[in-house]
């Protein structure tokens, strides 16, 4: 996928063009991760902890300015202060992303502050654990709003800003490649994001816009505890650190990859799921997702 190598001076914007970024020697770096971090500004949702915080640190370390969106004003302020010691601009925006109209509110706040977003990172998400028939309906709604509607709405709002090049990075999951008894809504929400992202990547093929979906396995964050799944088999196994996922996400998106699955073991599981009878996948996943 090609990217414009220059930006009209009137816009005075630093575009994210890692595949055509020049190194110190003046040569084009191809699909490598940029040597000099002169890319654009990344908006990261759920940036106050876990994978979101790791993503913010990864982008800042690569020389990107970052806009940090999450609920905790205190955590965001502390993170922004830390990131700015790296010589980048970090802008915290405290917002309840679960609230109706949050996507428009965030877009309007970014616009009001005169921030030009080049990379949208839809990271925030939640999970609900247990039999669906016993689930809390309000929690199911929250899961759908944060995991599905919010990234769809933000992508639609910001995509028009990427006329000169940009990227959307969505946080999917290997869970989205299979049904997940006892995490039915969560697995289904990630299936949506995985499919949505791949479809958009094809729609934008040949344009200056890249779309990448990152599909990790279990990650060592507070997610399992918040989802109430610490007593489950899958909840006790964390195969990725947030930093591993963030690094893979950045490198994969910089290389123009559509689907990024951190760790070889998760890529193997993905391949096995694709060739295993669905009834076997359902049974095995149910066993893995049940309480120990």
> Catalytic residues, which ones?
186, 190
Phi first, then psi: give them for residue 114, nearest 5 degrees: 70, 30
Alpha-carbon gap, residue 292 to 59, rounded angstroms: 38
Say how many residues make up the chain.
292
For residue 112, count CB atoms less than 10 angstroms from its CB and return exposed for 0-12, middle for 13-18, buried for 19 or more. Answer: exposed
Q: What angle do CA 56, 45, 42 make, to 5 degrees?
A: 50
Alpha-carbon gap, residue 202 to 71, rounded angstroms: 33
Name residue 93's beta-bridge partners: 69
Helix locations, 204-241, DSSP H? 223-227
Q: What angle do CA 172, 153, 61 make, to 5 degrees?
A: 55
Based on DSSP, count helices (H) and strands (E) in the chain, helices before strands. Answer: 10, 7
Dihedral sign for Cα atoms in the order 91, 94, 99, 101: negative
Give the end-to-end CA distance of the chain in Å, rounded to a whole number.
46
User: Which token pair is 33?
Assistant: 């991760």
Closest by CA to 218, choosing from 253, 180, 255, is 180
The whole-angstrom distance between residue 73's C-alpha and the CA centroid of its chain comes to 21
Alpha-carbon gap, residue 259 to 198, rounded angstroms: 7
Q: What angle do CA 66, 79, 31 make, to 5 degrees?
A: 40
């Amino acid at each position: 996928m090609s990217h414009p190598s220059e930006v009209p001076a009137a816009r005075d914007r630093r575009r994210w063009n890692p595949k055509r970024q020049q190194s110190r020697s003046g040569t084009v770096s191809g699909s490598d991760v940029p040597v000099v971090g002169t890319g654009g500004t990344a908006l990261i949702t759920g940036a106050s902890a876990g994978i979101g915080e790791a993503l913010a640190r990864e982008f800042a370390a690569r020389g990107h300015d970052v806009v940090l969106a999450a609920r905790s004003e205190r955590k965001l302020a502390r993170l922004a202060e830390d990131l700015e010691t790296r010589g980048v601009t970090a802008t915290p925006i405290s917002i309840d992303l679960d609230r109706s109209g949050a996507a428009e509110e965030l877009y309007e706040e970014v616009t009001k502050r005169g921030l030009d977003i080049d990379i949208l990172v839809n990271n925030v998400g939640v999970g609900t654990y247990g039999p669906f028939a016993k689930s809390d309906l309000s929690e199911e709604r929250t899961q759908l709003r944060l995991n599905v509607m919010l990234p769809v709405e933000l992508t639609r709002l910001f995509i028009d800003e990427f006329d000169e090049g940009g990227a959307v990075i969505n946080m999917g999951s290997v869970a989205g490649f299979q049904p997940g008894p006892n995490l039915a809504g969560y697995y289904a929400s990630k299936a949506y994001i995985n499919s949505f992202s791949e479809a958009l990547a094809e729609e934008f093929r040949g344009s200056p816009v890249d779309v990448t979906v990152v599909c990790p396995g279990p990650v060592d964050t507070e997610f399992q505890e918040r989802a109430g799944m610490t007593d489950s088999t899958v909840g006790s196994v964390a195969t990725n650190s947030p930093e591993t996922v963030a690094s893979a996400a950045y490198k994969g998106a910089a290389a123009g990859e559509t689907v990024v699955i951190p760790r070889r073991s998760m890529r193997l599981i993905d391949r096995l799921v694709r060739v295993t009878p669905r009834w076997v996948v359902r049974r095995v996943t149910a066993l893995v997702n049940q309480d120990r």
